[in-house]
Structures are given as structure tokens and as C-alpha cells.
């Protein structure tokens, strides 16, 4: 089966796609005065500024809300980058794809690894920012690690599918970007649902929106542990289910169109 051969063949060639990921990061931040420090600075300014502003508007404690927003942005930035940049993961590397022996999936792994590297920077920044504001981690913080593993698992399948579709349909990236811009406002990143997912009632539209929005559950499995409570079991089931479905679809699309991608490059 072509898709599985490409997937596992690229997975074994870890040196190639990990090197490609590191070189892409260096290329993105070369000749910048602060280099990769811009990752930390931009994240701290965005999450801290928005957290402070919305705490004032919603009448909430500034330390509590800034911490809530910062850990929410950690996950959202990763999801957004994988989904939007995943659409151009192959077309952006056209010359390498045509000339190097790296499989199609190698460019998927490279992009996901790059975004995991940036997620690590953002997570560290969120932790430092929260500690300054008085946040103290509890034992539930260990839930962050399996949460990141689920995010990575889902990202691989999603980027695989979107990279192939984005190569065939160049307008696909614009559609995805528009949907993600709207999804940001419908996801509890900077606003609160009335209750946590395991206690959501049927009366509040915001609670229902948080419960049935899949992005909410991906944020929950990471942010919940950081905020001092165990993420609800249904969030784990939903995210694992979506991740498995994304991987199946990704491999199916790769099997269907993978060999013919050169015609669209």
C-alpha cells in the first residue's frame, strides 16, 4: 500500500525531516535582531495584552484570566499553524519534493516538528507569565504531556490530508484560513463557558458551544491540567476519535492522490 510505505518510510528517515524542520526555523528568523526570541516576545505581548483587556471587560481577576488566555493560546497557535500551513506543506517545498528522496510524509513530519518546537517556546512563556502573576501548578499539570501527544497525533493526520488536498486545490488554503478565523471567536480561548465540560448544562448557549466545538476539547486537554483540574473524559475520547479519523482520512487521501502529486506541483 503506497500510503503506508510512504508514511513509515518517511518516519524512519528522522534525520532528514528533523534537519529540514530546524533549517526552516533558522530561515524564518535569520537576520532578525532577536532571532527566535521574537517567538517569546510576541506570544507574551499577545496573550498578556488580550488577557488583561478581556479581564477588564468581563470583570474577572487579571492573574486568573491572563493565565487562562495564555494556556489557551498555546494550543490554539499550534492548531492554527498546523491547519493553515499544512495546506501548503508540499507546494512550499516543491523543489525539494521533486529532487530529494524524502517521502511526502516527511514534509508533514517536518512541519509538525517545527510547530512542536514553537509550541514548546509558547508553553514555556505561558508558564513564566503565569508564575509571575501568582499561578502555582498542581499535580494535574502532568495532563499537559498526554494532551500534547494527542495534539501531535491529530496534527500528523490533519496535515497529511490538507497538504495533499492543498496541492490539488490551491484555493483550499484560503477556505481553511477563513474558517479558522471564524472558529477562533467560537472557541473558548479568550472567553469562559459557564461551566467546565463535565458539568455543562443545557441552558447556556456558550456552554453548548464549548461542548460541541471540537477545538474546545483540544484546548481543554492541555489547559485543564495547567489550570488545576483533570480534563473531562469526554474531551479525551473526542480528541482521540478526531485524531484517529484524521489519520485515516490523511492516509486515504495520500493513497488516492500521492503518486500523482507531481502533476499538480
- Residues 112, 171, 115, CA angle at the centre, nearest 5°? 15
Tens-digit pLDDT profile for residues 59-101: 788 888 899 999 999 999 999 999 999 999 888 887 777 777 6
Average pLDDT of 247-252?
A: 94
Average pLDDT of 169-176?
A: 90
- So what's the pLDDT on residue 200? 45
Q: How far is it, in rounded angstroms, from Cα 136 to Cα 113?
A: 29
- So what's the pLDDT on residue 194? 60
Kindly tell me the number of DSSP H helices and DSSP E strands found in the chain.
Answer: 11, 0
Average pLDDT of 219-235?
A: 91
Average pLDDT of 232-258?
A: 93
Distances (CA, A) of 64 to 26, 30, 71, 228, 243: 35, 36, 11, 12, 30
Domain count, the chain: 1
- Could you tell me what percent of the chain has a pLDDT over 70? 91
Distances (CA, A) of 242 to 48, 66, 112, 202: 31, 29, 17, 24
Best-predicted range by mean pLDDT (18-32, 84-98, 195-209): 84-98
- Output the average pLDDT for the chain: 86
Give the domain extent around 81: 2-263
Amino acid at each position: 500500500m503506497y500510503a503506508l510505505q510512504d508514511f513509515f518510510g518517511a518516519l524512519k528517515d528522522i534525520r532528514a525531516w528533523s534537519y529540514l524542520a530546524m533549517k526552516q526555523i533558522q530561515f524564518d528568523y535569520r537576520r532578525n535582531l532577536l532571532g527566535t526570541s521574537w517567538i517569546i516576545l510576541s506570544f507574551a505581548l499577545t496573550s498578556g495584552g488580550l488577557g488583561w483587556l478581556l479581564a477588564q471587560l468581563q470583570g474577572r481577576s487579571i492573574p486568573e484570566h491572563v493565565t487562562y488566555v495564555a494556556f489557551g493560546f498555546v494550543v490554539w497557535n499550534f492548531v492554527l499553524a498546523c491547519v493553515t500551513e499544512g495546506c501548503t506543506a508540499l507546494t512550499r517545498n516543491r523543489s525539494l519534493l521533486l529532487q530529494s528522496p524524502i517521502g511526502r510524509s516527511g514534509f508533514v513530519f517536518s512541519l509538525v516538528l517545527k510547530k512542536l518546537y514553537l509550541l514548546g517556546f509558547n508553553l514555556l512563556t505561558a508558564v513564566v507569565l503565569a508564575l509571575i502573576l501568582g499561578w502555582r501548578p498542581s499535580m494535574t499539570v502532568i495532563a499537559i504531556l498526554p494532551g500534547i501527544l494527542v495534539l501531535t497525533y491529530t496534527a500528523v493526520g490533519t496535515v497529511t490530508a490538507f497538504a495533499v488536498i492543498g496541492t490539488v486545490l490551491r484555493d483550499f488554503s484560503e477556505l481553511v484560513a477563513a474558517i479558522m478565523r471564524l472558529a477562533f471567536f467560537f472557541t473558548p480561548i479568550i472567553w469562559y463557558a459557564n461551566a467546565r465540560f463535565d458539568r455543562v448544562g443545557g441552558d447556556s448557549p456558550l456552554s453548548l458551544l464549548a461542548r460541541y466545538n471540537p477545538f474546545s476539547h483540544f484546548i481543554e486537554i492541555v489547559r485543564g491540567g495547567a489550570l488545576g483540574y483533570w480534563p473531562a473524559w469526554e474531551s479525551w475520547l473526542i480528541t482521540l476519535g478526531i485524531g484517529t479519523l484524521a489519520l485515516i482520512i490523511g492516509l486515504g487521501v495520500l493513497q488516492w492522490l500521492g503518486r500523482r502529486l507531481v502533476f499538480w506541483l
